[in-house]
Amino acid sequence: MHQGRHFLQIPGPSPVPDRILRAMDMPVIDHRSAEFGELGRAVLEGSQKIFQTSGPVVIFPSSVTGAWEAAIVNTLSPGDRVLMVETGHFATLWRQMAGRFGIEVDFIPGDWRRGADPAQIEAKLAADSARAIKAVMVVHNETSTGATSRIADIRAAIDRAGHPALLMVDTISSLGSVDYRHDEWKVDVSVSCSQKGFMLPPGLGFNAVSEKARAASKTNRMPRSYFDWEEMLKPNAKGFFPYTPATNLLYGLREAIAMLLEEGLDNVFARHQRLAAATRAAVNHWGLEVLCQEPAEFSPVLTAVLMPPGHDADQFRKVVLDNYNMSLGSGLSKVAGKVFRIGHLGECNALTLLGALTGVEMGLSVAGVPHRSGGVEVAMKLLEQRTPGNSSPHLKAVST
């Protein structure tokens, strides 16, 4: 028997704030009514602000897997070649999906401990004299590893190579938590979802679309129906959808957008940076190792922690859950049983994080994992260093 609220410290779905739960607690609305049109316009326009784009954002009633599929089927044709990077579990899954659609994937191998290397991408594109590569597909924040790829640098690498490939970015666990600029970084398709930085339950998939990507969608040969951008964009002009939308999730989305804009995106990003830095400080003090090895790519959204040899991460997670009613993220695929992941995204604040780190430190003791006590105090001291904008003068922003 556990008392109190469960600590959900996985890197998504993130906890849903009470304010958003109340916003969704509404009778189902007529999705053909004028009232719904106002809601539809509000969330479509509000989503543009979060993606930082003036172009269209398409919202599907789907999991993020559907949004991945939409990005592929609207821009590519069977037999097309794309360039992807093995940054972790989710980059691998996106690659597998592309292969199922007959896409030829040039997959740059990686060690799951850093983001995509812009220099490698530039070299691949420069060598593509026939311009056969149709798209570069990158995961911005790899949720399985805690490494954030530098999208602005990747955009610059594509430009230096003078290559016309589309830039398609998975922002599933970064949007609304990590600085992301669809227009400024000349991204063609940004893919995201509802259950991470938007702080909603799962059920909405997003595609932010450039004019270049939209032009590609009018000439590619991939069949699609449910995920057709043009079929969505026609009724979207008046706030409507071509089929029944996830109405009550859209109420929640409107509230989530309001919360992010009220705090201010820069403050949201700075808050995530502070929480991530405090988490890493605790991990380092414990004598454990952060999975991501490149400081410029440390994720503001989660921290993946390597277990010492001879200790199983999943058994440790069970100890924490059984004793302290807290869920930590599991290791996935290649790092299953080797790492646990601490989520610090969404509504998370300093006190929430300190509670989570306390649960981890107590769990390390109960599970008999070798560590040095006092990591929570180190994190607390760092979080005491408050400055305007909810950031810390000692923290350096992640280069994205």
Residue list, annotated binding site for substrate = 341
In Å, what is the CA distance from 292 to each residue of 70, 143, 146, 327, 339?
Answer: 30, 11, 6, 21, 11
Q: Please report which residue ranges of 18-131 form alpha helices under DSSP H.
A: 18-24, 34-51, 64-73, 89-100, 118-127
In Å, what is the CA distance from 321 to each residue of 306, 318, 343?
Answer: 18, 5, 15
- Can you tell me the distance from the alpha carbon of 338 to that of 309, in angstroms, rounded to the nearest whole number? 9
Identify the CA nearest to 361 among candidates 326, 314, 312. 326
SS3 letters for 295-313?
HHHECCCEEEEECCCCCCH
Cis omega (within 30 of 0) on the bond before 13? yes
Q: Which residues are annotated as a binding site?
A: 341
Beta pairing partners, 106? 83
- Can you tell me the distance from the alpha carbon of 254 to that of 40, in angstroms, rounded to the nearest whole number? 9
Find out whether 116 and 154 touch, Cβ atoms under 8 Å: yes
Sheet order of strands, 57-60 included = 57-60, 205-209, 189-193, 166-170, 133-139, 81-85, 104-108
